[in-house]
Amino acid sequence: VGFIQFCIDEVCTLSHVRNPLPKTEHSLTLWDKTPKHLKSQTPSRGAIAVWQFYREGKPTMQGHVGLVNNFTPTTFFSIEANTSSGTGISREGDGVYMRMRSRKSTDSFKLLGFIQIWA
């Protein structure tokens, strides 16, 4: 979340607008504390995708975020930090990469939705 917060802060500073996001380094807190009118189940360019991790079918307090770059009806491309260049899910990767993600959730990786900052 820190990388995404930094990116949004930079754009807001350059645009002379207030950052509407709650200040947090925790993915699920970001989702929970973001105003409802900024949340969506539909991606848009510049939106923040928010995921929650599940273990043995039960939700955990761990999550992940990415900045949507482009999307199709079934997938989207996001810029993510703390990930890897490979396939699959890597919450603690080695850098910032563009990843192609499915809009469908899996047993261990549930897409909560998208935060539409620029709506």
Residue whose tokens read 């307090």? 61
Per-residue pLDDT tens over the stretch 65-107: 999 999 999 999 999 988 877 765 666 677 888 999 999 988 8
What's this model's pTM, rounded to 2 decimal places? Answer: 0.90
Region 44-56 average pLDDT? 95
Upper half-sphere CA count for residue 39 (Cβ side, 13 Å): 11
Task: Identify the pLDDT of residue 58.
Answer: 94
Q: What is the pLDDT of residues 13-25, one digit of tens each?
A: 999 999 999 999 9
